[in-house]
Amino acid sequence: MTTNKRGLAQQLWDFFCSLRLSIFLLIGLALTSIIGTIIPQGPQREYLATLSEMKIRLYSSLGFFDMYHSWWFILLLYLLTLNLICCSIKRLPRVWKIVSEPVLVMDETFQKSLGQVKELKLRGSKADLKDRVAALLKAEFAEAVVTERDGSYHLFAQKSPYSRLGVYVVHLSIIIIFIGALIGSFFGYKAYVNIPEGGSISQVDSRTGKQIDLGFQVACEKFSVSFYDTGAPKEFRSVLTVLENGQPVKGYQSIPIVVNDPLTYKGITFYQSSYGPTDEGALYHISVRDRNTGATTKLEGRQGERLALPGGAFLSVMEATQDVRPFLKDFDGPGAQVEFTPAGGKSQPFVILSQKWDNFNAQHGGDLVISFDGMDQKFFTGLQVAKDPGVLVVWLGCALMVIGICMAFFMSHKRIWARVSDDGVTVGGSASKNPAGFEIGFDELVQKLNKV
Amino acid sequence: MSSSNLFNVTMIAYMVSTCIFFAFLASRTKAVGLAGTYAALFGFVVQTAAIGLRWKESYDQGHGHAPLSNLYESVVFFAWTIVLIFLVIDFKYKYRAIGFFVIPFALFGMAWAQLSLDAGIQPLVPALQSNWLVYHVITCFLGYAAFAVACGISIMYLIREKMEQTGGNVSAGGTLAMFPSIRILDDLNYKAIMIGFPLLTLGIVTGAIWANYAWGTYWSWDPKETWSLIVWFIYAAFLHARITRGWVGRRAAILSIIGFAATIFCYLGVNLLLSGLHSYGG
Q: Which among B216, B230, B241 has CB closest to A30?
A: B230
pLDDT tier at A432, thresholds 50, 70, 90: confident
Q: Is A259 on the interface with B (CB under 8 A)?
A: yes
Contact B187 A437 (CB under 8 A): yes
Percent of chain A with pLDDT strictly greater than 70: 98
pLDDT digits (tens, 9 = 90+) for A166-185: 989 999 999 999 999 999 99
Task: Quickly name the fold that domain A102-160+412-450 has.
Answer: TATA-Binding Protein (3.30.310)
pLDDT tier at B127, thresholds 50, 70, 90: confident
List the one residue out of B184, B139, B190, B128 whose CA is nearest residue B161.
Answer: B184
Contact A262 B209 (CB under 8 A): no
Which one-letter DSSP state was computed for residue B70? Answer: S
Contact A434 B187 (CB under 8 A): yes
Contacts of A26 in chain B (CB under 8 A): 233-234, 236-237, 240
Closest CA–CA distance from residue A449 to any residue of chain B (Å): 23
Contact B190 A436 (CB under 8 A): yes
pLDDT for residue A41 is more than 90 = no
Cα A236 to the center of its chain, rounded Å: 21
Contact A36 B226 (CB under 8 A): yes
Output the pLDDT for position B174. 66
Contacts of A391 in chain B (CB under 8 A): 212, 218
pLDDT for residue A262 is more than 70 = yes
Closest-CA residue of chain B to A434: B243
pLDDT for residue A3 is more than 70 = no
Q: How many CB pairs under 8 A join A and B?
A: 124
pLDDT digits (tens, 9 = 90+) for B20-68: 999 998 888 889 999 999 999 999 999 999 999 999 999 988 888 899 9
Closest CA–CA distance from residue A401 to any residue of chain B (Å): 8
Closest-CA residue of chain B to A37: B223
pTM of the prediction? 0.83
Contacts of B215 in chain A (CB under 8 A): 271, 273, 384
pLDDT tier at A398, thresholds 50, 70, 90: very high
Q: Which among A259, A272, A406 has CB closest to B198?
A: A406
Output the pLDDT for position B18. 96
* B57 compared with A4, residue with greater pLDDT: B57
Q: What is the mean pLDDT of residues B93-107?
A: 94
ipTM above 0.85, yes or no: yes
SS (H, E, C) chain A: CHHHHHHHHHHHHHHHHCHHHHHHHHHHHHHHHHHHHHCCCCCCHHHHHCCCHHHHHHHHHCCHHHHHHCHHHHHHHHHHHHHHHHHHHHHHHHHHHHHHCCCCCCCHHHHHCCCEEEEECCCCCHHHHHHHHHHHHHHHCCCCEEEEECCEEEEEEEECHHHHHHHHHHHHHHHHHHHHHHHHHHHCEEEEEEEECCCEEEEEEECCCCEEEEEEEEEEEEEEEEECCCCCEEEEEEEEEEEECCEECCCCCCEEEECCECEEECCEEEEEEEEEECCCCCEEEEEEEECCCCCEEEEEECCCCCEECCCCCEEEEEEEECCCCCCCCCCCCCEEEEEEECCCCCCEEEEEECHHHHHHHCCCCCCEEEEEEEEECCEEEEEEEEECCCHHHHHHHHHHHHHHHHHHHHCCCEEEEEEEECCEEEEEEEECCCHHHHHHHHHHHHHHHHCC
Domain borders along chain A are: 2-90, 102-160+412-450, 175-279+380-400, 283-376
pLDDT for residue A377 is more than 90 = no
Q: Is A409 on the interface with B (CB under 8 A)?
A: yes
pLDDT tier at A1, thresholds 50, 70, 90: very low
pLDDT digits (tens, 9 = 90+) for A285-316: 999 988 888 888 898 888 888 888 888 889 99
Contacts of B217 in chain A (CB under 8 A): 190, 386, 388
Q: Which among B208, B245, B262 has CB closest to A398?
A: B208
Q: What is the mean pLDDT of residues A413-426?
A: 90
pLDDT tier at A358, thresholds 50, 70, 90: confident
At B139, which amino acid appears? T
Contacts of B219 in chain A (CB under 8 A): 181
Contact A384 B130 (CB under 8 A): no
Output the pLDDT for position B126. 87
pLDDT digits (tens, 9 = 90+) for A90-142: 989 999 998 989 999 998 889 998 988 998 888 888 888 899 999 999 999 99
Q: What is the mean pLDDT of residues B164-183?
A: 71
Percent of chain B with pLDDT strictly greater than 90: 62
